[in-house]
Amino acid sequence: MSGQELVKQQRGHKACLELTCDQSALLDQQASAAITIWNCLHAYWTHFPGRRPTLAQADQAIRQARTDFPFLAALPAQAAQAVLKTYRQAWENFFNPDHPAKRPTFKSKKNRPRLAVDVPQVRNMRIVRLSAKWGQLTLPMVGRVRFRWTRNLPGVGKNSPAGKVTGARLVKDAFGWSIVFRTETLVEPAAPHQGEPVGIDRGITVAVALSDGTMREHGPWLTDGEAEHLRRLEKKSARQRAARPSKTRPSGREQRTYDQIARLRAKAKRRAVDWQHQTTTELAGTFSVVVVEDLKVTNMVRSATGTVENPGVNVAQKAGLNRSIAGQAWGRTVTLLEYKTSDRGGHVVKVPARGTSQTCHQCGHRDPAARDRNRYACANPACGWVGHADTNAAINIENAVGMPVSGRGDLGAARSVKRQPPRAA
């Protein structure tokens, strides 16, 4: 120990659960009850006469609902209290002008909300490690359950790091139920990172382009066979949906088709997240400061359909662009970089995005026509720089660090970054 004051580090760790059919059905009932309690809270909260109800009044309403509707008793009482806290936090986020959260609404089955159950207290979970690959814990009203052991949990076992598990959340995706542990450890503050700063440009053709001239690319998330299988399943689901009478529920066969589509898409997302984790870990370990554009991704992927009076133009092309942007998950890349660079003594700086792809980094001349797909050719006769457009944009992003719009990380401990002179590619 160096004598420095330790700081708390909170992280999450996801592990797959091994459930029986009965245990999976119980968790499905608990998740459905949690959604129903959320909807009941929303109705009670929005139609309460006068001012908003207090937490005590909302808690009493939940207790009364669990008494009046026996199926809500499938959800443990602590998990029901967690729904109340989550709902209250959703309103606080909505009224926070700096938070992008939208107004809380009803959770409809038509929108297929994600099934989840909170486990706020861990003292009765009795987490133990069974072998090198398996662990075991106790879930309320479900019993003992095995889970995949892929990382040591703090405070569990002999060789585990110092700390504790503060809570957990059960989530369900296309592959079944998983558990997300909330962990807390005490670590020493990270020493200032000694690496060089770098600017990165997030794109579609090139996933991540760096200002040092290198790039981080990936192939398709699905193989050719998987992509063809997904295409056939989507066509099959369209035929089944067209043949089904309106306002009727999908048949078992149609639902199985939807489940197969969901599994393939979830597989693609897992591969994308894995690539992003590996790439951001490498960048955070190499560079001290990562400069990115402050992109408003939500505004960028808005539909171009328009209205009946003012219909949109190039709607199909814009929809394809929106799918490509969503597939790259630009926001998740920055989120991963923020906490990983902070853990290693660096930080992320966000700069304005205006003009970075249209300006020559050599002479500063700006011309929208200078970029032609992936090629940038400066229109200034005195310059004439030619190179990869994404590399040019990444250098402009790094050079714009003198006018950041926001930053996150240990700005005082990390080496300060000033505007860098234009570099040649």
Domain extent listing, the chain: 7-187, 198-221+262-409
pLDDT digits 0-9 by tens, 86-135: 999 999 999 998 888 889 999 987 777 889 999 988 888 999 999 989 99
- Tokens representing residue 239 in the block: 């035929």
Give the strand order in the sheet containing 371-372: 371-372, 375-377, 386-388
Rounded (to 5) percent helix, strand, coil in the chain: 40, 20, 40
How confident is the model at residue 156, as a pLDDT? Answer: 87
Entry field: residues in the chain: 425
pLDDT at residue 415 is higher than 50? no
Distance between CA 58 and CA 139 in Å, rounded? 26
- Tokens representing residue 378 in the block: 């400066």
Distance between CA 43 and CA 13 in Å, rounded? 34
- Tokens representing residue 349 in the block: 């700086």
pLDDT at residue 30 is higher than 90? yes
295: pLDDT confidence band, cut at 50, 70 and 90? confident
How confident is the model at residue 240, as a pLDDT? Answer: 95
How confident is the model at residue 414, as a pLDDT? Answer: 34
How confident is the model at residue 49, as a pLDDT? Answer: 74
- Tokens representing residue 81 in the block: 């209290």
- Nearest-5° Cα angle at 288, 282 to 290: 75
pLDDT at residue 419 is higher than 70? no
331: pLDDT confidence band, cut at 50, 70 and 90? confident
| Rounded-to-10 torsion of CA 41, 46, 52, 53 | -30
User: Which parts of 214-251 fold into alpha helices (H)?
Assistant: 224-243
How confident is the model at residue 405, as a pLDDT? Answer: 55
pLDDT digits 0-9 by tens, 254-280: 999 999 999 999 999 999 999 999 999
How confident is the model at residue 3, as a pLDDT? Answer: 59
How confident is the model at residue 418, as a pLDDT? Answer: 38
pLDDT at residue 80 is higher than 80? yes
Taking Cα atoms as reference points, which of 198, 188, 187 lies closest to residue 347? Answer: 198
Across 211-334, the runs of DSSP E, i.e. the strands, are 215-216, 289-293
Q: What is the mean pLDDT of residues 341-354?
A: 90
State the chain's mean pLDDT as an integer. 86
pLDDT at residue 424 is higher than 50? no
pLDDT at residue 232 is higher than 70? yes
- Tokens representing residue 200 in the block: 């990165």
pLDDT at residue 197 is higher than 70? yes
Distance between CA 128 and CA 151 in Å, rounded? 13
List, in order, residues 6 or more apart from 260 with CB less than 8 Å away.
Answer: 233
CB atoms within 10 A of CB 224: 8
304: pLDDT confidence band, cut at 50, 70 and 90? low
Question: What CA–CA distances, in Å, run from 109 to 36, 39, 43, 218, 255?
Answer: 10, 11, 16, 35, 14
pLDDT digits 0-9 by tens, 240-261: 999 999 888 899 999 999 999 9
